[in-house]
Amino acid sequence: MRVCRRRLLCGWLVLCGWVLSASAMATVEEAVEVLARGEVLSEAQRSELEADADGLFLLGWLHQQGRYGVEGDASRAQDYFLRAAAAGSADVLYYCWQRCLPSSEALERQVAAAASRDHPAALYLHAQALSAQGRQAQADDALLAAARLRFAPALEQLYVEHFLDWSAQRRDYADAEAKLRRCADEGLVVCYYLLGSFFERHRHHDEALEAYQVLALADPELFQRYLFADQLQVLAERQPLKTMSLVRARAAMELIRHPATEFDRLARFQFCADEASYTCAVRLSAADPACLPPLLELAARQAFRASPGYGACLAKGNTTE
């Protein structure tokens, strides 16, 4: 496990009982502390980060987002991402897969190598690659291995397959709804899509619209992949006048008051607990990916969101600096 996943945010964010000396190397932990304080990385710190795969990933992300005093530069971001992948970062492979890194045999070999080391995200990506090659048995094994390591996308894929098989047996409405709500309570975002589809099929348009609104806030990418604006418009038109604001407010509160979960796409909305508003949920959904370093684990993510640097970044919205 890499250095940034051990005792991240020691110092400003977590009381570790020790302080790094001024002459210490600018590790990823130190760099994240700088960002948390709302300060800008020095050239020396940036140079030190280039010696580490996770540091290269962090630099690529900063240039991609154009935040924390770093100029947005897609070309430099991709260069850092490629170097991070070549240096062995499985996290950057998942973050950039088929988006900011071109697909290649070399990248697929790196994914397979990381999967052999039981990296959850790499196992999930390897499962997709094996499935595309028609090697379904091996793909299923890799997917199950990722799910056993509690990797959310793998769990979601398996749950969708399970629910479709389960519901094909003409299940009772109440049993199906309860099953989907338990899944959503566990923190699997895709279950809000299944809930919306379930309610829509049974003509419970208000509940369907609310579930889709939750999905839109929790995972905009997943929402846009499976739903269309005109589909929501049809549902909205079937509601009494002036109720859309109420539906959005209920969706926001569903997320803000969601039971504790290990999955950050839902857990992050605890940030809005004090404000408890749709406005806060929308702001968080839009700007969080650009303000939260992607290397952090759940506890460190929650701590970073309490920092001045994150607050200043979030206040800028989803535009680049």
- Write the pLDDT tens digit of every residue in 87-114: 988 899 999 886 788 778 888 899 999 9
**153-176: burial string, b at 16+ Cβ within 10 Å, e else:** bbbbbbbbeebeeeeeeeeeeeeb
3-class secondary structure, 197: helix
Closest among 223, 202, 228 to 211, alpha carbons compared: 223
The token pair that represents 38 in the structure block:
């709302």
Q: What is the pLDDT of residue 240?
A: 64
pLDDT score of 80 more than 80 = yes
Mean pLDDT along residues 175-204: 95
Question: What is the distance between the alpha carbons of residues 116 and 145, in angstroms, rounded to a whole number?
Answer: 11
The token pair that represents 69 in the structure block:
């005093």
What's the number of CA atoms in the CB half-sphere (13 Å) around residue 122? 20
Mean pLDDT along residues 13-36: 58
Closest among 226, 225, 246, 221 to 236, alpha carbons compared: 246
pLDDT score of 306 more than 60 = yes
Question: What is the distance between the alpha carbons of residues 186 and 192, in angstroms, rounded to a whole number?
Answer: 11
Backbone angles phi, psi at 2, to 5 degrees: -70, 165
Q: What is the pLDDT of residue 106?
A: 85
Question: What is the distance between the alpha carbons of residues 77 and 115, in angstroms, rounded to a whole number?
Answer: 25
Mean pLDDT along residues 200-223: 93
* Mean pLDDT computed over every residue of the chain: 87
Q: What is the pLDDT of residue 122?
A: 94
Q: What is the pLDDT of residue 234?
A: 75
Backbone angles phi, psi at 215, to 5 degrees: -60, -40
pLDDT score of 26 more than 70 = no
Q: What is the pLDDT of residue 21?
A: 28
Q: What tens digit of pLDDT does each residue of 224-278 get?
A: 888 876 777 777 777 665 578 888 999 999 999 999 999 999 999 999 999 999 9
3-class secondary structure, 224: helix
When pLDDT is cut at 50, 70 and 90, the band that residue 10 belongs to is very low
pLDDT score of 125 more than 80 = yes
pLDDT score of 57 more than 80 = yes
Question: What is the distance between the alpha carbons of residues 113 and 119, in angstroms, rounded to a whole number?
Answer: 9
pLDDT score of 279 more than 60 = yes
% helix / strand / coil in the chain, to the nearest 5? 65, 0, 30
Q: What is the pLDDT of residue 107?
A: 85
Q: What is the pLDDT of residue 105?
A: 85
User: What are the extents of the domains in the chain?
Assistant: 103-150
Q: What is the pLDDT of residue 319?
A: 53
Mean pLDDT along residues 135-148: 96
- Angle at the Cα of 71 from the Cα atoms of 283 and 291, rounded to 5 degrees: 25
Which helix or strand (DSSP H or E) is residue 131 part of? helix 120-132
User: 17-26, 38-47, 91-100: lowest mean pLDDT where?
Assistant: 17-26
Please, what sign has the CA dihedral across residues 130, 132, 134, 137? positive
